[in-house]
A and B are shown apart, each in its own frame.
Chain A
Amino acid sequence: MEKNTRPVIEVRNLDLSYDDYAVMRDLNFSVNKGDIFVVMGPSGCGKSTLLKVLIGLKEPLKGEVLYNGVDFWKQDESAQQEMMRRFGVLYQGGALWSSFTLGENVALPLQLYSKLSSVQIREMVELKLALVGLTGYTDFYPAQISGGMRKRAGLARAIALDPEIIFFDEPSSGLDPLSARMLDDLIIRLRDILGATIVIVTHELASIFAVGDNAVLLDTESKTMIAEGSPKGLLADSKDPRVIQFLTRGEKQGVAR
């Protein structure tokens, strides 16, 4: 029971920087199990940087990132590797390996880490591709499919090992509204069927309101987070003009101006 109430991810006093260039300061938030958590903010505010820290590709300047109570950046490398294996990441462009077919892309994590036989891996690949709506595209190369399909294939690879947490970097960028919508639906469906926790980095308002259970809003000027809560709740209740401006595309100016 204790495990269910404890947040899956806890971020405490996190500072992000590139060498001596500070990107974000003093981030504090937590992500509950089974939530779709959105990191919002304008372009260039440091969302991707935060994501890199969360998935273990970049060390923070200071602060803690706890997964189920374990501080990721205090672990040694092999323990970090072990923890990273429980993450699935969908990179901005899909990041499929171009010289592999879609099937091979999804199969590689399974070949590396699972105990399945090659027949079973083939079955798993078919299942994962089916879950993202790419049945029958197993033998296609990434260059032979469209951008939206590449993202979905990237997602199939991200969920290959049934990750506990799935991270998305700008999932709807570069997609037409309909494909973006389909991807949003897919994200919700995957959360429901896989029971995964999902962290999405985006500035797309439509997605934010469609999928987000909880969110933080990062701000470029003050270099920190300025709001936390469910996107709809923030829109209804926030008094901060910067929050309202972001959530209404600047169409409604803040009340307390």
Chain B
Amino acid sequence: MPLNKLSFEHPSSNTLRLKLSGEWQIYAGLPAVEEVISELSSHKDITQLTFDLSEIGAWDSALISFLLHLMRECGHRKIQVIREGLPEGINNLLTLALKEHERTIPSKIKPASFLERAADKFLQLKAGILALVNFLGEIACAFGRFFTGKAYFRRQDFFGIVQRCGADALGLVSLISLLVGIILAFIGAMQLQLFGAQIYIADIVGIGMVRVMGAVMTGIIMSGRTGASFAAELGLMQVNEEIDAYKTLGISPVEFLVMPRVLALMIMLPLLTLYADFMGIVGGFFISTSVLGLNPVEYWHHTQSAVRLSNLWVGLVHGFVFGIIIGVSGCLRGIKCGRSAEALGEATTSAVVTSITSIVVATAVITFICQVLGV
């Protein structure tokens, strides 16, 4: 169909005349420049190109871009383009566009080779680690100033954050840890029933929850909830140049924004862990007494004697460490966020991924240390 918009005439052996007719508009579509090119290459002796637009219908900038493309191709083939047959409006636009094309062009971003990309990745990794160490240093300094009473941040912000990452998370933490307690009880029951030692479910649920599971579940919930929200919040501030505005005022964003968040999580995560431990034990107790038919009083005594204070401390240390991990990774990703909507999405994702990965690694490390110390 678009073929009949473009026809070729040969007024002399070295001249090709393009006859354009019909609509040359964005919405109507255009013939491809390649059609002209193939006509040119099948007549090797052509040295100049002329136009006949006497029958052209409506046209818009699509025609201009077609002509520009064609003129460039002709330039490569050393074919002279005679623009006299073109109406004045089209000629003016062409001249304007050509003039703009001649302007100094900024250096283009070249696509990188494999080696370059590999080197880039390595350098990025190195820079990432440096940035992390730097950031941790800044946070440590901010805490230093906090404990000497010199840190500048708004108290009401801090309490708002505490509220958001503590009280507001209670519902979710209750639900998840209750279920984890129930799951632990069922799994324990499957094995212990074989030996008629179901009462030891109390030990499994109690120690399991208090020592690690309470803290790990809380950590994972809070990574998704609070870590992601910190990253999004600080990331948007970065995008809006709010962080720069703090810096201009001489306010350290780490002290003003990051430190209160990390501090809030350092306090709230151990508390939430305690709460999760309790809810887990309640879940196990409920299932054992109602479904598995254990004696409630006996179960309770068993739990009490199994869960020693040292277990509780180990759980709290987990919670404390996870609080730091979630706070630091959320804030770090937020502050290092790039200035685009996509970068913001990446920042939140990587905040959650970093904190969950780090939580699992930290759990392994703490468990190993406890093993060595015999706690």
Report which A residues bind B (CB closer than 8 A).
97-99, 110, 113-117, 119-120, 123-124, 126-128, 130-131, 133, 135-137, 139-143, 159, 161-162, 189, 193-194
Interface residue B103 (Cβ < 8 Å from any Cβ of A): yes
Set A99, A113, A139: member contacting B340, Cβ < 8 A: A99
Complex Cα gap A193–B105 (Å): 24
The answer on a CB contact under 8 Å between B65 and A98 is no
A140 to chain B, nearest CB (A): 8
Complex Cα gap A98–B342 (Å): 8
User: With A141-B340, A161-B26 known to touch, is A193 a contact of B60 (CB < 8 Å)?
Assistant: no
The answer on a CB contact under 8 Å between A130 and B101 is yes
The answer on a CB contact under 8 Å between A115 and B339 is no
Q: Across the interface, which residues of A come within 8 angstroms of B339, CB to CB?
A: 98, 143
Residues of B in contact (CB 8 Å), total: 35
Set A97, A115, A136, A194: member contacting B106, Cβ < 8 A: A136
Set A113, A114, A119, A130: member contacting B97, Cβ < 8 A: A130
A239 to chain B, nearest CB (A): 42
User: With A98-B341, A193-B92 known to touch, is A120 a contact of B30 (CB < 8 Å)?
Assistant: yes
Q: Across the interface, which residues of B come within 8 angstroms of A136, CB to CB?
A: 103-106, 108
Starting from the known contacts A97-B341, A98-B339, A115-B27, 13 additional A-B residue pairs (CB-CB under 8 Å) come to A114-B62, A117-B30, A120-B66, A124-B61, A126-B65, A131-B100, A137-B106, A140-B106, A140-B109, A162-B26, A193-B89, A193-B92, A193-B93
Q: Across the interface, which residues of A come within 8 angstroms of B69, CB to CB?
A: 119-120, 123
The answer on a CB contact under 8 Å between B32 and A127 is no
Q: Across the interface, which residues of A come within 8 angstroms of B62, CB to CB?
A: 114, 116, 120, 124, 162
Interface residue B370 (Cβ < 8 Å from any Cβ of A): no
Interface residue B194 (Cβ < 8 Å from any Cβ of A): no
A47 to chain B, nearest CB (A): 24
Nearest neighbor of B338 in chain A, beta-carbon distance: A143
Q: Across the interface, which residues of B come within 8 angstroms of A124, CB to CB?
A: 26, 61-62, 65
The answer on a CB contact under 8 Å between B340 and A127 is no
Complex Cα gap A127–B71 (Å): 13
The answer on a CB contact under 8 Å between B93 and A135 is no
Nearest neighbor of B61 in chain A, beta-carbon distance: A162
User: With A135-B105, A162-B26, A193-B92 known to touch, is A130 a contact of B100 (CB < 8 Å)?
Assistant: yes
Complex Cα gap A130–B105 (Å): 11
The answer on a CB contact under 8 Å between A194 and B108 is no
Q: Across the interface, which residues of A come within 8 angstroms of B340, CB to CB?
A: 98-99, 141-143
Interface residue B57 (Cβ < 8 Å from any Cβ of A): no
The answer on a CB contact under 8 Å between B66 and A123 is yes
Report which B residues bind A (CB closer than 8 A).
25-30, 32-33, 60-62, 64-66, 68-69, 89, 92-93, 96-97, 100-101, 103-106, 108-109, 338-343
B24 to chain A, nearest CB (A): 11
The answer on a CB contact under 8 Å between B26 and A114 is yes
> How many cross-chain pairs have Cβ atoms below 8 Å apart between A and B?
94
A-B contact pairs, 23 of them (CB 8 A): A98-B341, A98-B342, A99-B340, A99-B341, A110-B26, A113-B27, A114-B29, A116-B62, A117-B30, A120-B32, A123-B66, A126-B65, A126-B68, A130-B101, A131-B96, A136-B106, A136-B108, A139-B108, A139-B109, A143-B338, A143-B339, A161-B27, A193-B96
Q: Across the interface, which residues of A come within 8 angstroms of B29, CB to CB?
A: 114-116
A107 to chain B, nearest CB (A): 12
The answer on a CB contact under 8 Å between B97 and A131 is yes
The answer on a CB contact under 8 Å between B100 and A135 is yes
Nearest neighbor of A141 in chain B, beta-carbon distance: B340
Nearest neighbor of B89 in chain A, beta-carbon distance: A193
Complex Cα gap A201–B96 (Å): 27
User: With A98-B342, A139-B109 known to touch, is A127 a contact of B27 (CB < 8 Å)?
Assistant: no
User: With A135-B101, A162-B61 known to touch, is A116 a contact of B68 (CB < 8 Å)?
Assistant: no
Nearest neighbor of A139 in chain B, beta-carbon distance: B109
A125 to chain B, nearest CB (A): 9
A-B residue pairs, 6 tightest by C-beta: A115-B29, A136-B105, A98-B340, A99-B342, A130-B100, A123-B65
Most buried by B among A110, A127, A159: A127
Q: Across the interface, which residues of B come within 8 angstroms of A131, CB to CB?
A: 96-97, 100
Q: Across the interface, which residues of B come within 8 angstroms of A127, CB to CB?
A: 61, 64-65, 68, 97
Q: Across the interface, which residues of B come within 8 angstroms of A189, CB to CB?
A: 96
A111 to chain B, nearest CB (A): 11
Complex Cα gap A142–B342 (Å): 12
Nearest neighbor of A193 in chain B, beta-carbon distance: B93
A161 to chain B, nearest CB (A): 6
Complex Cα gap A133–B33 (Å): 25
Q: Across the interface, which residues of B come within 8 angstroms of A140, CB to CB?
A: 106, 109
Complex Cα gap A96–B109 (Å): 20
Nearest neighbor of B34 in chain A, beta-carbon distance: A119
A6 to chain B, nearest CB (A): 19
The answer on a CB contact under 8 Å between A120 and B65 is yes
User: With A98-B340, A99-B341, A120-B65 known to touch, is A114 a contact of B27 (CB < 8 Å)?
Assistant: yes
B215 to chain A, nearest CB (A): 37
Complex Cα gap A141–B96 (Å): 25
Q: Across the interface, which residues of B come within 8 angstroms of A159, CB to CB?
A: 61
B105 to chain A, nearest CB (A): 3
Complex Cα gap A162–B62 (Å): 9
Complex Cα gap A89–B27 (Å): 19
Complex Cα gap A139–B107 (Å): 10
B157 to chain A, nearest CB (A): 28
Complex Cα gap A159–B26 (Å): 12
Complex Cα gap A140–B109 (Å): 8
Q: Across the interface, which residues of B come within 8 angstroms of A133, CB to CB?
A: 100, 103
Complex Cα gap A120–B62 (Å): 8
B100 to chain A, nearest CB (A): 4
